[in-house]
Each structure stands twice: as structure tokens, then as C-alpha cells.
Amino acid sequence: MDPSQFTSRALLDSTFRDDYALEHQTLESLYSKSKRHQWNAELDVDWAQFEADAPILDPQADFLSRLTCVQELPADDRARLFKAANLFLVSQVLHGEQAALMTCGQLVNAVPYMDGKLAAATQVIDEARHVEVFARYLECHGKRFPIDPDLQSIVQELLAEPDWEAKCVGMQVVLESIALSFFRLGEDMAVEPVFKQFIGRVHEDESRHVAYGVLTLQDRIPNLPEETRARLENWAYDAIARIGGRAGKPGFQSQFAALAETGIDLGVFLPKLLAEVANPEKLDLSGLRDPMAQTVLPNLLRIGLVPERLVPGYLAQGWRVDRDAATVEDLHTFGEETKAIRAVFKEQGVDFSDPKQVSQASL
């Protein structure tokens, strides 16, 4: 088996429309804006400004810099650690952009109305540009990490998903919202000159992609059959549980492979790192922006995919969701309400990473 690629069998209905009227004004406006804001990764980025020795993101603004085990490292080790962590993150972003490229290509076929097809088509070219710019950037560094197994499994599920609504929820509302948060953060933290040039452009593109998901689904979801809607609610919950890492099943563990290339003695460093992050109550989390609370869950609320039955499960992961006010508050895993609901689930033997078990719990 070739480790450089994987396949996913995609069986979906393709809808051809012999009706070219654009009926959804908001999507038509988004399509028009997308056409006006195209840019060229080859010509609009001055690649000659690349500085190999510059940090990609500001190390002082990185969460890692707040950890005692990192602060104890020699300066050279810290620099290599930050660079490896950043390259791992950018590599996963690149793989996610290819997944978005492929998924949006499917949406062009599957979305049943013309406005949605045209808007998805402009996103296809956006995603192609993002694949190009991040691939070029990693080539400048001479390093790219393979796709993480957790991300790969989510991508495979999305590509094989037969319902276009599920593709749109998984890619546009969940994964793209997470990417949007990273790009927003990247604008604030960017140091390396070339990365600093293009990350704002990518952020602008990504905001349109998330808007596409919300605009496409906010009227569609409430009118779906109850069984279909429940499946999408569970799909979104499961994805957040895996990506967020707060449901007892931490993901993206292949990032430790990035640390192995720094030359740091992992036998000494990793136990300290794992022990420190396993006790978030003692960590300095002030000012950190959580993508789930800031973007993903609010967008799921907007399209109607956070049902009352799953609110306790989100609370057990540290997010207090108020469906009436459409707000999300990050309590993290050490909040008193979070600890209380976790204790209830534990007493009942409920695995709160599983949306079906959360739904069946007696609360």
C-alpha cells in the first residue's frame, strides 16, 4: 500500500439543473464577491522574501511558551520545538485544504440548486490556490509532515458520505470553521515574511467558505426529516469530540513525531509535557481563543445542529451552550459545571464522547 495516498469510495447523487435562475440572493452575493476577490499564489506572493531562520509564528504568543517544561529547555531546543510544531500544524492545514478541494468538487455535483453549485465552484478554485500556497511554503522549509490518522479518518468519512448536507456540515461548518480560527490567529501571530504575506488572504477566502456553509444549511436543516437531522447532529458532535480532544480521546497524536525530529530528549521531555497538559486547571489559559467556542459551535447553533439532547455532552467537554441565547461559553474541563456533569455521566457509565450514549443518559 502506497503511504503517500489513500482512497475513499464516493457514491453520491449528482443533480443536473435545467433551470439557471439564481434564487438565493445571499448565495448569489457570496458568489459575486468570490469572483472579485481572487488572487494568484504564484504572482501575488513575493517568495523571494522567505526567511528560513525566522519563526513562522511568534513563539511568545504560542501556547507552548506557557508550559514550564518548555520554558526549562535551552533556547536552541525551544526554537526547534516551536518550528517543528508550526510545520506540523501547517502540514495538517495543507492536507485539510486538499480535503476541502475534493469535498467542494463533490458539492458542485450534489447541491441541488444553481446558486449553491456556483458558490461551491468558486470555493474549488480558492481551495486549489490554498493547496498551492501552503505546499509551496512547506517546500521553502524543505519539510512536510504526513496527514494525521485522525484527520485522515474524518476526511475519508466526509468524501464517502452520500448526503451532500453531511459533507457541507463536516467540511464547511466544522473543519472550515476550525481553519478560519487558525488563519485569524495566524494573522495576529505571523512573523516569517512570506507567511505573513499570504495568511491574511487565506483568512479572507476562508470566511467566505464558512459563510457558504451557514447560508446553504440554515434554511435546509430545519426542514430535513428528523432521522436525517439527528444523524447530522451526531456527526457534528462526534467530529468535535475527536478534534477538540476534551472527551477523553485525545487526537492528532502524530504531532509527537514532529517533536522527535527536534533532537530533544523525548524520554525526559514527553512525560513532563503530558503531565502538565493533563492538568489544565493549573495552566495559564488566559487570553487563548478556543475555535470550538468562538466559531464552530456558534455556527452549528446558527444552522440548528445543537439539539437539547447533546447540550450536556458539550458541557462535559467544557462548553456551556445556551440554545435560546445562541451563545457558547468556554468553561474548559475544570469548570465546576463541567466536573459535575462528568460525575453524573461516570456514575451512569456513559461515554460522553459518544453522542448516542449522551442522548440516552438520564439527567
CA distances from 35 to 31, 118, 126, 204 (A): 6, 10, 10, 13
What's the pLDDT at 282?
83
What's the pLDDT at 147?
93
The beta-carbon contacts of 110-113 under 8 Å, at least 24 apart in sequence, are 110/12, 110/13, 110/14, 110/15, 110/164, 110/167, 111/15, 111/164, 111/168, 111/216, 112/15, 112/17, 112/164, 113/17, 113/23, 113/24
What's the pLDDT at 251?
66
The model's pLDDT over 268-300, given as tens digits with 9 standing for 90+, comes to 998 998 888 878 888 887 877 888 999 999 999
End-to-end Cα spacing for the chain: 47
Distance CA 352, CA 317 (A): 8
Q: Whose CA is closest to 213, among 238, 232, 227, 230?
A: 232
Give pTM, 2 decimals.
0.91
What's the pLDDT at 184?
92
CA angle 156, 290, 37 (to 5 degrees): 70
> What residues contact residue 271 under an 8 Å CB cut-off, 6+ apart?
none
The model's pLDDT over 64-102, given as tens digits with 9 standing for 90+, comes to 899 999 999 999 999 999 999 999 999 999 999 999 999
What's the pLDDT at 87?
95
Question: What are the structural domains of the chain?
Answer: 25-288 (1.10.620.20), 307-363 (no CATH)
Q: Pick out the chain residues at pLDDT < 70.
A: 1-3, 250-251
Is 295:180 a contact under the CB 8 Å cutoff? Answer: yes
